[in-house]
């Protein structure tokens, strides 16, 4: 999660990155550090991935109430039933997404005797405004972004502790914040890896990254996700909604769906149920307006896969007062995020969580359509 987005003014990220000795948190030049030449790199703004505009104010709309006003009018919601002994993977583009979107689900699965693994696609180390806030200056260095990514890693482990999960239940892939979409669209091959304009790395720079001998390329990210899924063998997989307007969120979904649609064809493998959650969508979760618009939306606000995504069923997971309190405790672990966008984050502390379900047709069609958008056929 990055910031409140009810205003939905997309703006280019900008960063003034000064060169730095890569001493703190870096793995060393042999592990893939990119030279950090001194000099102002403000011009990176023109090449950096787009990022939604920071807006830390609450939505002007009254909070959305479920199930009364929505389930009977805009969304036909059913209650999500949690069977015993599930194996659940939650994919989070950034540390905190798992908490604001699926903390209740994680608790319910644990309480039902199941196992949970949380996969963090990035360390959230590309949030320019928050890094500036953290270091109390406008000019930042690659070391500042790396330190911020390590801070968010540590916050994630504390949040997971609220659910009685440990470091063995977390996978930190360390791929580039604000760059997941670039891997899908323009840096698919490992012969042309993406370089983070924030950390200056073209591969995971953190010592706790799950796989370190990979590059920032679409093929390598897909391979990492495949290894995670094969290793854990989940019954349920939870991903961001492909219609989410944040590029890291919608493209995380597409990457995971691409892996799952191949796995579904393995005869010995049991079917996997796929649920999806929203974070970044106009007026979500503050008003019912989003529900009027989302039925015709495609991946990330484009028209891609809009037919496949039309009419997805919605499922509501009620949370007990105890589960809500635990979710609040987990959210409080993310001090770095609460410092800059507390009102937005707290909108997700509700008495329910909402998911949509993606069936086999959608699991296969969404990545195929989104690859075609960039002139690429899935293999």
Give the residue with greater pLDDT, 255 vs 54. Answer: 255
> In the predicted model, is pLDDT for residue 37 greater than 70?
no
Lowest mean pLDDT among 15-29, 104-118, 198-212: 15-29
Residue 15's pLDDT is 27
Once rounded to an integer, what is the mean pLDDT over residues 290-311?
92
Residue 340's pLDDT is 95
Provide the pairing of β-strand 352-358 with 273-277: antiparallel
What would the 3-class secondary structure string for the chain be?
A: CCCCCCCCCEEECCCCEECCCCCCCCCCHHHCCCCCCCCCCHHHHHCCCEEECCCCCCCCCCCCCCCHHHHCCCCCEEECCCCCCCEEEEEECCCCHHHHHHHHHHHHHHHCCCEEEEEEEECCCCCHHHHHHHHCCCCEEHHHHHHHHHHHHHHHHHHHHHCCCCHHHEEEEEECCCCHHHHHHCCCCCCCCCCCCCCCCCCCCCCCCCCCCCCCCHHHHHHHHHHHHHHHCCCEEEEECCCCCCHHHHHHHHHHHHHHHHHCCCCCCCCCEEEEECCCCCCCCCCCHHHHHHHHCCHHHCCCCHHHHCCCCEEEEECCHHHHHHHHHHHHCCHHHHHHHHHHHHCCCCCEEEEEEECHHHHHHHHHHHHHCCCCCCC
Band of residue 119 on the pLDDT scale cut at 50, 70, 90: very high
Once rounded to an integer, what is the mean pLDDT over residues 41-59?
36
Residue 302's pLDDT is 93
Residue 249's pLDDT is 98
Give the residue with greater pLDDT, 107 vs 293. Answer: 107
Contacts from 231-235 at CB under 8 Å and sequence distance 24+?
Answer: 232/87, 232/89, 232/117, 233/87, 233/269, 234/87, 234/88, 234/89, 234/117, 234/272, 235/86, 235/87, 235/88, 235/270, 235/272, 235/273
Residue 145's pLDDT is 97
Note whether 163 and 330 are within 8 A (CB).
yes
Instruction: Pick one of 1.10.1040.10, 3.40.47.10, 3.90.700.10, 3.40.50.10320 as the CATH number of 10-372.
Output: 3.40.50.10320
> In the predicted model, is pLDDT for residue 370 greater than 60?
yes
Once rounded to an integer, what is the mean pLDDT over residues 356-373?
96
Residue 270's pLDDT is 74
Once rounded to an integer, what is the mean pLDDT over residues 1-23?
32
Percent of the chain with pLDDT over 90: 71
Contacts of residue 366, defined as CB under 8 A and 6 or more positions apart, other chains included, come to 242, 253, 254, 257, 299, 305, 308, 309, 358
Question: Where along the chain do its domains lie?
Answer: 10-372
Distance CA 90, CA 68 (A): 28
Band of residue 271 on the pLDDT scale cut at 50, 70, 90: confident
Backbone dihedral angles phi then psi of residue 292, each to the nearest 5 degrees:
-75, -25
pLDDT in tens, 158-167: 999 999 999 9
> In the predicted model, is pLDDT for residue 5 greater than 90?
no
> In the predicted model, is pLDDT for residue 36 greater than 90?
no
Distance CA 269, CA 29 (A): 41
Rounded to 10 deg, the angle between the 335-346 and 142-162 helix axes is: 60
> In the predicted model, is pLDDT for residue 53 greater than 70?
no
Band of residue 73 on the pLDDT scale cut at 50, 70, 90: very low
Q: Which residue, 346, 351, 310, 308, is CA-closest to 330?
A: 346
How confident is the prediction for the chain on average, in pLDDT? Answer: 83
Residue 35's pLDDT is 32
Residue 10's pLDDT is 29
Once rounded to an integer, what is the mean pLDDT over residues 273-280?
97
Residue 264's pLDDT is 65
Distance CA 265, CA 34 (A): 40
Q: What pTM, to 2 d.p., does this model score?
A: 0.83
pLDDT in tens, 239-258: 999 999 999 999 999 999 99
Once rounded to an integer, what is the mean pLDDT over residues 130-149?
96
pLDDT in tens, 256-265: 999 999 876 5
Percent of the chain with pLDDT over 70: 78
Give the residue with greater pLDDT, 292 vs 3. Answer: 292
Distance CA 271, CA 83 (A): 15
> In the predicted model, is pLDDT for residue 192 greater than 50?
yes
């Amino acid at each position: 999660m990055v910031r409140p987005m009810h205003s939905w003014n997309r703006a280019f990220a900008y960063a003034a990155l000064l060169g730095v000795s890569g001493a703190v948190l870096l793995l060393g030049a042999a592990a893939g550090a990119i030279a950090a030449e001194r000099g102002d790199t403000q011009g990176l703004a023109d090449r950096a991935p787009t990022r939604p505009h920071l807006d830390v104010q609450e939505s002007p709309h009254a909070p959305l109430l479920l199930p009364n006003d929505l389930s009977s009018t805009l969304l036909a919601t059913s209650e999500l039933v949690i069977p015993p002994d599930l194996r659940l993977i939650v994919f989070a583009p950034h540390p905190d997404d798992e908490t604001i979107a699926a903390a209740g689900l994680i608790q319910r699965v644990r309480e039902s005797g199941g196992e949970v693994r949380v996969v963090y696609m990035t360390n959230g180390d590309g949030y320019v405004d928050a890094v500036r806030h953290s270091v109390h200056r406008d000019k930042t260095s690659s070391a500042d972004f790396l330190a911020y990514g390590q801070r968010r890693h540590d916050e994630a482990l504390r949040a997971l502790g609220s659910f009685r999960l440990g470091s063995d239940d977390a996978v930190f892939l360390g791929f580039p914040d604000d760059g997941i979409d670039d891997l899908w669209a323009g840096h698919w091959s490992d012969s042309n890896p993406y370089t983070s304009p924030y950390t200056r790395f073209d591969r995971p720079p953190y010592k706790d990254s799950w796989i370190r001998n990979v590059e920032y390329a679409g093929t390598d990210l897909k391979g990492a996700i495949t290894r995670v899924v094969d290793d854990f063998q989940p019954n349920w997989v939870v991903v961001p909604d492909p219609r989410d307007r944040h590029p890291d969120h919608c493209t995380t979904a597409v990457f995971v769906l691409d892996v799952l649609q191949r796995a579904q064809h393995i005869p010995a493998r049991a079917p996997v149920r796929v649920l999806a959650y929203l974070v970044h969508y106009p007026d979500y979760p503050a008003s019912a307006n989003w529900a009027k618009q989302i039925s015709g939306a495609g991946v990330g606000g484009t028209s891609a896969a809009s037919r496949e995504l039309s009419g997805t069923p919605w499922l509501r997971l009620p949370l007990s007062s105890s589960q809500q309190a635990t979710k609040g405790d987990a959210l409080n672990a993310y001090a770095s995020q609460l410092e800059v966008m507390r009102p937005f984050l707290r909108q997700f502390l509700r008495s329910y969580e909402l998911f949509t379900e993606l069936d086999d047709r959608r699991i296969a069609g969404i990545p195929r359509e989104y690859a075609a958008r960039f002139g690429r056929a899935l293999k």
